[in-house]
Amino acid sequence: MIKFKSTRTKLSRKRLIPLAVFFVCNGLIVALHAGAKEQIYHTSDEIRETAKIFLEKMTSAADIPTIDIQINQLDPRLRLRRCSEEMKAFIPSGSRTRGKMTVAVSCSSPVNWKVLIAAEIAEYAEVIVASRTLARKTVITQHDITRKRVNISTMRKVPILSETQVIGSTMKRNVRNDSVIFEDSICMVCRGDNVHITAKSDYFSINMEAVALADARIGENTLVRNKQSKRSFTAKVVSKNRLVVTL
């Protein structure tokens, strides 16, 4: 039997080598072109990181573990030319500085552009909440309250953070179980209460009875009227229905 050597394989290999080189080179060109294109524009992560660093500096978030900053994603179709200098971040006029807000990132060279990014700064704190439903005029005791960690950045009112501010005070309105107790919900001295006043100086002190003319919390000054002289004056609340005046 006569055997013939096939040249088909050799010819195929000879043809495949330059073809493979062509595709490899073409792939490299495409990759380099894509990489060069990416270098022309800022990535969304770079822009978002600029905004986050700005907010962290503004809120001292690195030193305050109770603050959490979230930056929303950008539209992936966005193409913003790379800056020749560092991008600048700022709070637009009229924007909030806590809770849900907007932060702007801009560039001035070589192309002037600005993008607005939705963000949220959440600040958490241990606040006083009702451990049961509290009716108006209830005098609060230790058993009526508990503590809870909540986001206070979205609250329009000031929550109470210390138990000493609330124990012994009177509810000015109804509060449901597990609800935050705000400063304007209580009074340590309430309007119309009979209060004890101590007027003191470095040499003597005088005690007197008076009537509270306005609501107040511990540490606040409020107007009272002396029962005997009927004279009105301002005194500082130190505890339940007890106030002091420094002469």
Split at pLDDT 50, 70, 90, the class of 138 is very high
Same domain as 110, residue 61: yes
Residue 160 domain boundaries:
124-187
pLDDT of residue 76: 86
CATH label of the domain that carries residue 173: 3.90.1210.10
Same domain as 180, residue 138: yes
Identify whether 7 is part of a domain: no
Same domain as 131, residue 114: no
Same domain as 176, residue 108: no
Strand 186-187 to 170-171 pairing = antiparallel
Identify whether 212 is part of a domain: yes
Same domain as 56, residue 117: yes
Nearest to 67 by CA among 103, 120, 127: 120
Identify whether 113 is part of a domain: yes
| pLDDT tens digits for range 70-126 | 999 999 888 999 999 999 999 999 888 888 999 999 999 899 999 999 999 998 999
| pLDDT tens digits for range 157-209 | 999 999 999 999 999 999 999 999 999 999 999 999 999 999 988 888 899 99
pLDDT of residue 191: 95
pLDDT of residue 118: 96
| pLDDT tens digits for range 96-105 | 888 899 999 9
Split at pLDDT 50, 70, 90, the class of 247 is confident
pLDDT at 9 over 60: no
Identify whether 29 is part of a domain: no
Q: How far apart are CA 67 and CA 100, in angstroms?
A: 13
Identify whether 3 is part of a domain: no
Of the candidates 122, 142, 163, which is a domain's last residue? 122
Of the candidates 105, 122, 139, which is a domain's last residue? 122
8 A C-beta contact, residue 124 and residue 149: yes
- Domain count along the chain: 3
Angle at 239 between CA 233 and CA 245, to 5 degrees: 30
Q: Which residues contact 124 (CB under 8 A, 6 or more apart)?
A: 66, 67, 68, 149, 150, 151, 152
| pLDDT tens digits for range 203-243 | 888 999 999 999 999 999 999 999 999 999 999 999 999 99
Of the candidates 95, 122, 149, which is a domain's last residue? 122
8 A C-beta contact, residue 195 and residue 224: yes
Q: Which residues contact 235 (CB under 8 A, 6 or more apart)?
A: 195, 197, 210, 221, 222, 224, 243, 244, 245
Same domain as 98, residue 139: no
8 A C-beta contact, residue 195 and residue 227: no
